[in-house]
Amino acid sequence: MSNGRQITLLKKWRLAALLSAVVTAAIHPVPMASAGTGTIEAHVIKLRNNHGQVICTLFTPSDKFPDQSHEGMTMAVPIKNKQATCYFRNVRYGNYAIVAFHDENHDGEFNQNWLGLPKEGFGFSDNPGTLRKPVFDDAKFIVSQPLMQVTIKLNYWF
């Protein structure tokens, strides 16, 4: 087959692939993101001191809530006047939950004693009870506007 004929066939294949993609997109449009995105302003309160930092993690319904090893949106923020604020920006409208803890020794870990009980303060969005491990629905809130404010009260066991 001549080189010119190969180029012509290649152009025809490219055109056919492009037309196929256009027709497929017209028949099966990709759904647009729901209404938009917003910012979550999570106020973390009731810290027992100004030592260390606060670590906040944002979870979606499909994440392994409340597993702190979650690789999603996690941030560490400074403490001022025994409180801190975590800002999650450009969050798509939908259901979320937040876990926050007071990293008093600034090691980036949620420290526990030898029994597995928390040595540092912790809390969840919607402030569910702390006698059992919460599930996502216990802490969920809905982002449906440009600014969503959430208050998380920390709990200390020791």
Q: Give the number of C-alpha atoms closer than 13 A to the C-alpha of residue 133, restricted to the C-beta side.
A: 8
With 60 as the cut, is the pLDDT of residue 5 above it? no
pLDDT in tens, 10-68: 344 444 433 344 334 444 444 444 469 999 999 999 999 999 999 999 999 999 898 87
Q: Please tell me the total count of domains within the chain.
A: 2
What is the value of pTM for the model shown? 0.76
142: enclosing H helix or E strand: strand 141-143
Domain containing residue 81: CATH number = 2.60.40
Same domain, yes or no: 24 and 57: no
Tell whether 134 is covered by a domain. yes
pLDDT in tens, 66-116: 887 776 799 999 999 999 999 999 999 999 999 999 999 999 999 999 999
- Overall average pLDDT of the 112-133 stretch: 93
Contact in structure between 77 and 85 (CB atoms under 8 Å): yes
With 60 as the cut, is the pLDDT of residue 7 above it? no
For residue 21, what are the domain limits?
A: 1-30
What pLDDT, on a 0 to 100 scale, did the predictor assign at position 2? 58
Tell whether 73 is covered by a domain. yes
Q: For residue 152, give the nearest of 110, 92, 102 by alpha carbon.
A: 102
